[in-house]
Each structure stands twice: as C-alpha cells, then as structure tokens.
Amino acid sequence: MPDHRQPVHRGRFDDLTLPVTERLCAEVLSVPCHPALDDDDVDQVAAALDAFRGAGRSAAEEPRTMGAVLAHGGAGAERR
C-alpha cells in the first residue's frame, strides 16, 4: 500500500494521486531487513516468501499478492 494511502494518513491525502508510486507498490515487494530482526522474525519472513512464491503449488494455485498470502496465514506457515 502506498504511503499516502496508509490508514494513518486517512483523510489527509484522499485527493492525492501518485500513479508511479501506486504502480510500483503493486509491482515491488519490500521485505523487512534491519539489525533488530531476530531469528523468529527472519523465519516468519522466509515462510511468507515461500508461501508467496507458491512452494509446492502449481502456478494456478499461487496467491497473486503478498496481502493474499498474509490473509490466508502464509506468514504463519511452518517455520524452518
């Protein structure tokens, strides 16, 4: 979700249109990457990425967005 559409900004930027930002948010996947991540956090990110890329599923069964993965419990998948 683009920054200007985040719930925290609701009502502040409703009329703002940023087509490049909105397109990139639909095409780019950002993953947490910072020194404060512990091993459990890294495992959770890895599990979500595995679910997102459809490990063990056909292309027709793969979720289309990371939001779909998270909504279906992908981030809570079995940890390595």
Shared domain for 48 and 74, answered yes or no, is yes
Mind listing the pLDDT tens digit of every residue in the chain (80 residues)?
888 888 998 899 989 999 999 999 888 888 888 889 899 999 998 888 888 777 555 555 655 555 665 555 554 444 33
Number of domains, the chain: 2
Q: Do residues 55 and 61 lie in contact, with contact meaning Cβ atoms separated by under 8 Å?
A: no
Shared domain for 19 and 55, answered yes or no, is no
Shared domain for 9 and 38, answered yes or no, is no
Q: Do residues 17 and 28 lie in contact, with contact meaning Cβ atoms separated by under 8 Å?
A: no
Global pTM? 0.45
Q: Do residues 37 and 59 lie in contact, with contact meaning Cβ atoms separated by under 8 Å?
A: no
Q: Which structural domain range is residue 19 located in?
A: 1-30
Residue type, 26: A
Shared domain for 38 and 75, answered yes or no, is yes
In DSSP notation, 35-64 reads TT--HHHHHHHHHHHHHHTTTTS-GGGS-S
